[in-house]
Amino acid sequence: MPQKELQTILSGIKDFVLIISPEREILETNAAFLKHMRCSREDVIGRKCFEVLKEDKRKPSNCHNICPLEEVIRNKRRCQIELTRLDSDNKPRYTELTIFPIWEKKGKIAKFIEISRDITKRKLDEAYLVKIVEERTRQLKETHERLLHQDKMASLGKLSSSVVHEINNPVAGILNLVILSKRILKEDTIDQKMIDLFLQYLELMETETRRISRIVSNLLVFARQSKIELTKFDVNDLIEQTLLLNSNLLKISHIRIIEELEHNLPLISGSEDQLKQVLMNLISNAVESMSTSRTKYLTIKTFSKKNQKAIGLQIKDTGSGIQKGTESKIFEPFFTTKKKSKGVGLGLSVVYGIIQEHGGKIYVDSVSGEGTCFSITLYQELDPQKIKSNLPLSTGTPPDKLTT
């Protein structure tokens, strides 16, 4: 093809075009490339490609390590890559580059046609978007952490009055035992029977003191705003701790607890603190839903799901249930059927967010007027990145129904 016709064709192409010899000399180019590189034809034609492209530190002997032309020769097909090159002002420019080999009849490469386009703006836009996403993720993480702590404080508020009674009862018992013990010590003669009685009082005082200690300790652990710590733990132990924390609330609400806990469950991986918050919310909701029920049973069941390397947890009440048509909304933040004084509707959205972060699944099955059952699947192993990411709260009813 005559040189003038070739130049006319190349000038009409907006992408940057180079025709390069097997010796890496530039044989031809187009106006778009010259404008992009801010140079003239005399600065380009006949020179080595890596010199023109500001890669003059590269020696021909090590070209095969970084040169895309060698990639074409090695694989015997076209090559497409992204490169960072410097322009005439030594500023980085991002280029999407495709090289096509032109073969001679004898199977040797006659020349390379390099077609590239500047994607610097796209790369800078992508970097800007990544920065915005990171900032929004950080803000969501902070908001999520505030919601978690706010929900904890709401749960603690519900527990406060019952915990006062829970602590006052053993304190009053200990006080009475101390008074009785003082009377025994004032006796002129203390026989073996008195000593045995005295030892019995001391054992009762020790038991009640340890009970108070466990309640206060659980409250402090639950209330703290700590960093998420992944541990291996027994779900049954977590359930017992949570029931102890709620024991007086359940007692004064006349709730009968039915525990169907499978023994020797495999340990699960996750945040013990956050999953305790899940149980606190579900138990609290169950107690409120049974406030007007004649039959008040709260059934807590655990079982292993060996085929999934997971454990199942069910919390079932005999309360008022969920009204038809609202099941799909109960996990949405700020959705609530309670009166204004009873809460702002964060509890179940927090529960759903925590279960999602743990890679688990939660499903609700409810019949209005008969009760509600929350079913949860938790896995034995957890990718730390899932929970560290603190994903924003999701909404909607999860589709996976847990079966035994």
C-beta of residue 98 within 8 angstroms of C-beta of residue 79: yes
Structure-token match 């915990």, residue found: 163
Reported as a single tens digit per residue, the pLDDT across 122-174 is 888 888 888 898 888 888 777 767 766 666 666 566 555 556 656 766 777 77
Residue 377 has pLDDT above 90, yes or no: yes
Pairing relation of β-strands 26-29 and 109-118?
A: unpaired
AA identity, residue 202: L
* Domains in the chain with CATH codes: 3-118 (3.30.450.20), 133-388 (3.30.565.10)
Confidence category of residue 301, pLDDT binned at 50, 70, 90: very high
For residues 156 and 117, the model is more confident at: 117
What pLDDT is recorded for position 304? 93
d(CA 381, CA 384): 9
What pLDDT is recorded for position 391? 38
d(CA 77, CA 154): 66
Reported as a single tens digit per residue, the pLDDT across 25-81 is 888 888 888 887 778 888 888 888 877 776 544 444 344 456 788 888 888 888 888
Structure-token match 């000593």, residue found: 195
d(CA 183, CA 180): 5
What is the DSSP code (8-state) at residue 319? Answer: S
Sequence-ordered alpha helix ranges (H) in 187-290: 192-223, 235-245, 247-252, 272-289
Q: Using alpha carbons, list the distances in angstroms from residue 295 to 249, 365, 367, 374, 380.
A: 17, 19, 15, 18, 35
Residue 244 has pLDDT above 50, yes or no: yes
Backbone Cα Rg of the chain: 36
Structure-token match 């996990």, residue found: 331
Reported as a single tens digit per residue, the pLDDT across 65-112 is 567 888 888 888 888 888 776 766 777 778 888 888 888 877 788 888
What pLDDT is recorded for position 191? 77
Mean pLDDT of 360-379: 90
Average pLDDT of the chain is 76
Please give the full DSSP string across 52-79, using - where no structure is assigned: HTT-TT--GGGHHHH-HHHHHHHHTS-E
Residue 401 has pLDDT above 50, yes or no: no
What pLDDT is recorded for position 128? 87
For residues 400 and 182, the model is more confident at: 182
Residue 342 has pLDDT above 50, yes or no: no
Beta bridge partners of 374: 315, 364
What pLDDT is recorded for position 395? 34
Reported as a single tens digit per residue, the pLDDT across 166-211 is 676 677 777 777 877 777 777 767 778 777 877 887 887 887 787 7
What percentage of the chain carries pLDDT values higher than 70?
Answer: 72
What percentage of the chain carries pLDDT values higher than 90?
Answer: 12
Beta bridge partners of 112: 20, 101
What pLDDT is recorded for position 393? 34
Mean pLDDT of 363-382: 88
286-313 burial by CB neighbour count: b if 16+ within 10 A, else e? bbbbbeebeebbbbbbbebbeeeebbbb
Sequence-ordered alpha helix ranges (H) in 97-191: 120-186
d(CA 250, CA 257): 8
Confidence category of residue 265, pLDDT binned at 50, 70, 90: very high
Helix pair 120-186, 192-223: axis angle to 10 deg: 160
What pLDDT is recorded for position 318? 93
Read off the pTM: 0.46
d(CA 137, CA 392): 8
What pLDDT is recorded for position 255? 92
* Weakest-pLDDT range from 122-126, 218-222, 361-365, 377-381: 218-222
